[in-house]
Amino acid sequence: MSDRKSSNAYWQANLRIIWTCLAIWALVSYGFGILLRPLISGISVGGSDLGFWFAQQGSILIFIVLIFFYAWRMNKLDREYGVDE
């Protein structure tokens, strides 16, 4: 029974990390790049407006950061629950 509780806690923590990363990615790529672009278009980054930057490079850079964050956090979670390699 304890193994089952530990397994359920591990997967709940895993899903929480996944949903958090997906929410951040959606906010950055869809929110800042498309929906909120008119609100942030007055801010200049690298010679273009911030909304254009998020649509072209920002969402890709955030995605790469999220990949490294996910790998780091999952390694930490695996060690916490004793399922690391």
**Residues 34-66: pLDDT tens digits?**
888 888 888 887 788 888 887 788 888 999 999
Q: pLDDT above 70 covers what percent of the chain?
A: 98
Neighbours of 29 (CB within 10 A): 17
Q: The domain containing residue 71 runs over which residues? A: 2-81
Alpha-helix residue ranges (DSSP H) falling in 27-58? 37-40, 50-53
Closest alpha carbon to 58 in 21, 16, 39, 49: 49
Total number of domains in the chain? 1
Contact of 70 with 44, CB cutoff 8 Å? no
pTM of the model: 0.79
Distance of CA 83 to the CA centre of its chain: 23
